[in-house]
Amino acid sequence: MKQMLIDKKDMAGLLTELTGKMAVIAPVMKGGNLLFEPITDGQEAVLDSANTRLSPKDALFPQCEKMMSFTTDRQSEEAFIMKDIEPLEQGQVIFAVRPCDAAGLVILDKVFNQGGQAYEDAYYLRRREKTTVVGLACNKPLLTCFCASFDKGGPFATEGLDVLLTEVGDKYVATVLTDKGEALLKDKKGLSEADSASIDKANKIKDAAVKSVDSGVATDKIKGKTTMELFDDPSWDAFYEICIACGVCTYSCPTCHCFDIQDEVIDTEGVRMRHWDSCMFPIFTVHATGHNPRPTKKERFRQRFMHKFKYFQEKFDRMACVGCGRCIQLCPVNIDVRQLVKRMNS
């Protein structure tokens, strides 16, 4: 495994160099929030802060995405014929992704790339193929982080990454994990082979960070419980009543992937759009007949957690949570997913 060294003062130059060859998406301050956004100058990137408000999944699965275009002009020979939107030609790199968010991309891969005759999402896969993911290890995990609760998780986990950066004083140790990562850094200015002192220091920082994640939650018994045992648990009543169904937990989650598709037309020009949706919203599963199989907040609330920790695990052999802690930080009524999982696992 190749390890390289770059001075912090040279990082902006590296990012600017990359912008000349591909789209670069990195954490930036926007409207008072730290968000993943495209940059044109390496100086825009903010690499010395905690996790972003939203995960970088938008780079692969946009919150609003044009899928097809069409015209309703009946005089046109192409009336009502759907045309695919031109796919992303340029490659892109998502930079400074925390390990929990990289694990979230792996979960999205399972949903959107099921292979064979199962579901394959061409829009997601086209972006994924052209994307390189550079991670930034968490030297100081937050109190709300519980990434180590899940298989392959942790503040220095590498799943889903092509390169992992570790902040070591005034330098970064760059651990190259894949061919994509090696191609990204090949012949870039400011990089040199990492010395043993820097690698030793990075390993000590890693050990300290892993030990500091002490807010884990056990999940080992959920898989062995029957669906109905969890479904009928009376504790759902205590949890759902304080929820106000705002949906912030779903929109900030790096693994939530529900969407709605709508045709939008202005005059005779139309587009088929895909928008993120949320299982917490009242009309989420309303059928064309008007029937709603989850008509109350309790049923929708229960569905969110049953899906993440039970149904998803049965289908993909892992849970649809990476322990980033955003839903805990952002919930306006202080619902803590760790308490709920603890109850499911008890």
Q: What is the mean pLDDT of the chain?
A: 94
> Does 89 score more than 90 pLDDT?
no
The runs of H, that is alpha helices, within 59-195 are 99-112, 122-129, 179-185
Distance CA 156, CA 209 (A): 8
Distance CA 64, CA 87 (A): 15
Q: Given this model, what pLDDT does residue 125 score?
A: 94
> Coil, strand or helix: which one is 325?
coil
Check: pTM over 0.85? Answer yes or no.
yes
Distance CA 163, CA 184 (A): 9
Q: Which residue has the higher pLDDT, 230 or 87?
A: 230
Reported as type and span, the H/E element at residue 173 is strand 171-176
The C-alpha angle with vertex 148 and arms to 171 and 34, in degrees rounded to 5, equals 55
> Position 231: which residue type?
F
> Does 298 score more than 80 pLDDT?
yes
Contacts 24+ apart (CB under 8 A), 43-49: 43/12, 43/16, 45/11, 45/12, 45/15, 45/95, 45/96, 47/11, 47/96, 47/136, 47/167
Tokens of 258: 């529900």
The runs of H, that is alpha helices, within 173-216 are 179-185, 196-212
Instruction: Name 286's bridge partners.
Output: none
Of 39-53, 190-204, 205-219, 278-292, minimum mean pLDDT range: 205-219
Q: How confident is the model at residue 49 (pLDDT cuts 50, 70, 90)?
A: confident
Q: Given this model, what pLDDT does residue 280 score?
A: 95
User: What's the distance, Cα to Cα, between the start and end of the chain in Å?
Assistant: 41
User: Which tens digit of pLDDT belongs to each residue from 117-150?
Assistant: 788 999 999 999 999 999 999 999 999 999 999 8
Q: Which of 56, 26, 57, 54 is nearest to 39 (CA)?
A: 26
- Listed in sequence order, the residues at least 6 apart from 105 whose beta carbon sits closer than 8 Å to its beta carbon are 56, 57, 60, 97, 133, 160, 254
CB distance 243 to 298 below 8 Å: no
DSSP state of 147: G
Q: Given this model, what pLDDT does residue 212 score?
A: 87
- The pLDDT of 57-78, averaged and rounded, is 95
Distance CA 206, CA 173 (A): 12
Instruction: Name 7's bridge partners.
Output: 171
Residue 166 has phi, psi (to 5 degrees) of: -120, 125
